[in-house]
Structure 1
Amino acid sequence: MSEDLLPIGRFARLCRLSVKQLRNYDDLGLLAPAWIDPSSGYRYYRRDQARDALSIGLLRTLEVPLPAVARALSGDAADALREARDRIEDDLLRRRRALHLLDRVLAGGLPEARVRTVREPARRVRVAAEAATPTTIARATSACVARLLSGGTLEGALVGLFPLDMTDGFDVRVAMEAADGADLLPGGLFAAATHVGPYEEIQLTVYGVLAWIGDHGHAPGGPVREVYLDDPAATEPERLRTQVLIRLEDA
């Protein structure tokens, strides 16, 4: 065994990591020991591996996920770290929005919505879809709207379509009523309420509508529809009106 090798305990102290972390990084293929004693299974590391070990530790304290750390160590550092930064920025934005909504709830209590039932006819629509996560809904919705308006004119109301269950990944869809639309937006009986305020606060009204549905013994059917009644380019965020519609599945 070379004198340049350090046992895992000494190497861990040098790199400000725990022995458990080093073993985990070995199991994940991030940082393999230079030599493993075949009789004891004890791990040894070269001194020149310390830089990689310290890099892993630093990036993990910065909340860079392990797959991105692996890419950074393999030479794809700029793109991997830029993507990690974007994810952290998205998370910060989500938390700021959550903090704002929590302040609203603290000030006014859990939201109550003025709900009515409306019967909607089936409509011919054009639909644009975009993959999204809970932190990229606004970006995905804007991309869908841009594609629908790329033809030039707004033919009918824009309707955002969002799943009832916001999982880690889903499709955001936006529909535009059009006589030659290739898709059919089903009709039926809906619980409806009008949200007034910024789009990022619509979930408070969605909560109110779902609570009303539960209180009245109905079952909700997705997707949640958001009918955008005002042009955000010409209307202050606090005055934006959005109709929230959730189909009564049992009606």
Structure 2
Amino acid sequence: MRDLIPSGRFAQIARLTRKALRIYAEMGLLRPVHTDPGSGYHYYSLSQLEEARRISRLRDFNMPLEEIREALRSWHAPELSSLLQEQQRKLQAQQEHIQNLLKDLHAFMQTEQSLYPVSTKSVLPQRCISKRARCAPEHSCAFIDATHAELMQALKAADAHAAGASIVRYHDSGPEDMWDVEVCQPFTVDGPMLLPEGLDVQTLPGGTAAYTLHAGECGGDFGMQGAYEAVWNWIRTHGHETVGPPYEVYLFEQGNTENAADYRTEIAWLIR
């Protein structure tokens, strides 16, 4: 009993976790040489440390436990060389696969960056008619379209005129499962203007904006996520801070552009 070591201490010496030692015992790779009938404690022999070292080394080579069992049985036999050569071929195949993935990843990163180049520009303050509401994400497109039509109708009734592309701002407030959406339409008017209830007039702030351009549909599975990420990453990596919510500037005529491929949407954030 003098050379017997409790399982916990054996795991420490062998640089194994207790969980790994238990799995090796269950699979017959490294069984305890003695179990105390009273306490149920497992004990290992010092001579088993070499076996534990072999298992750990083979695990370093990513060899499955079933194959490690075969390798241990064949440790001093010619079959061991065949097992190791087979594992070498597997690792080489994995290495080739990883190299191909890295090439694909590099190409993907280059494509993503070229899709959404980010620039900066000066933005003037804009007087807008607007409407703001909370809505579920899946209903946001319908809300934006309906609200834009409502704003244009209000401008027409007030003998005012749209003066630029419509804008949508996404505010941070509101429950997590709802979006706080504000639809804005820049305009000009010669005299005073009466608005229907629920619509406001405000001046959007000016300043320096970081922006990129998204071509195509606004919605879909991913929508403009890549464009938002590109602008956000540019702001962060260039040491800027955002000022206020992000803007979506619709550079196409809503309701009169039938082909979604012709949609052009600017994603912009005021920065400092």
State TM-score, norm by structure 1.
Answer: 0.51
TM superposition shift of 1:165 = 7.4
Please tell me whether the aligned partners of residues 211 and 231 of structure 2 are also in contact (alpha carbons under 8 angstroms): yes
Match of residue 78 from structure 1: none
Deviations 1:33-83 (A, max 9, x none): xxxxxxxxxxxxxxxxxxxxxxxxxxxxxxxxxxxxxxxxxxxxxxxxxxx
SS across alignment from 2:182: strand
TM superposition shift of 1:150 = 1.8
Please tell me whether the aligned partners of residues 205 and 244 of structure 1 are also in contact (alpha carbons under 8 angstroms): yes
Deviations 1:12-47 (A, max 9, x none): xxxxxxxxxxxxxxxxxxxxxxxxxxxxxxxxxxxx
Sort the Cα spacing of 1:108 and 1:132 in 2 relative to 1 into closer, same or farther, 3 A. Answer: farther
- Which residue, 232, 242, 247 being the options, matches 1:210? 232
- Which residue, 214, 222, 232 being the options, matches 1:195? 214
- Which residue, 150, 154, 162 being the options, matches 1:155? 162
Unaligned 5+ segments in structure 2 are: 1-104, 190-199
User: What code does the residue aligned with 1:177 have?
Assistant: P
> 2: distance between equivalents of 1:164 and 1:203?
16
Deviations 1:130-156 (A, max 9, x none): 321222211221222121122348612
User: What code does the residue aligned with 1:242 have?
Assistant: T
Point out 4+ residue stretches in structure 1 off by more than 6 angstroms.
none
Unaligned 5+ segments in structure 1 are: 1-104
Deviations 1:92-137 (A, max 9, x none): xxxxxxxxxxxxx9x9458332111111011111112232122221
TM superposition shift of 1:224 = 1.1
RMSD: 2.6
TM superposition shift of 1:169 = 2.3
> 1: distance between equivalents of 2:137 and 2:130?
20
Does residue 193 of structure 2 align to residue 169 of structure 1? Answer: no
SS across alignment from 1:199: coil
Please tell me whether the aligned partners of residues 167 and 250 of structure 2 are also in contact (alpha carbons under 8 angstroms): yes
Sort the Cα spacing of 1:193 and 1:149 in 2 relative to 1 into closer, same or farther, 3 A. Answer: same
Please tell me whether the aligned partners of residues 130 and 143 of structure 1 are also in contact (alpha carbons under 8 angstroms): no
State TM-score, norm by structure 2.
Answer: 0.48
Please tell me whether the aligned partners of residues 214 and 265 of structure 2 are also in contact (alpha carbons under 8 angstroms): yes
Match of residue 246 from structure 1: 269
Please tell me whether the aligned partners of residues 131 and 169 of structure 1 are also in contact (alpha carbons under 8 angstroms): yes
> 2: distance between equivalents of 1:127 and 1:236?
26
- Which residue, 120, 123, 126 being the options, matches 2:126? 123
Identity of aligned residues (%): 24
Deviations 1:168-188 (A, max 9, x none): 224211111113582110111
> 1: distance between equivalents of 2:261 and 2:188?
32
Structure 1 segment 141-152 matched on structure 2, within 5 A: 141-151=144-154, 152=156
SS across alignment from 2:188: coil
Match of residue 82 from structure 1: none
TM superposition shift of 1:162 = 1.1
Structure 1 segment 99-114 matched on structure 2, within 5 A: 108=108, 111-112=112-113, 113-114=116-117
Please tell me whether the aligned partners of residues 129 and 144 of structure 1 are also in contact (alpha carbons under 8 angstroms): no
> 2: distance between equivalents of 1:212 and 1:182?
32
Does residue 191 of structure 2 align to residue 183 of structure 1? Answer: no
- Which residue, 208, 227, 231 being the options, matches 2:249? 227
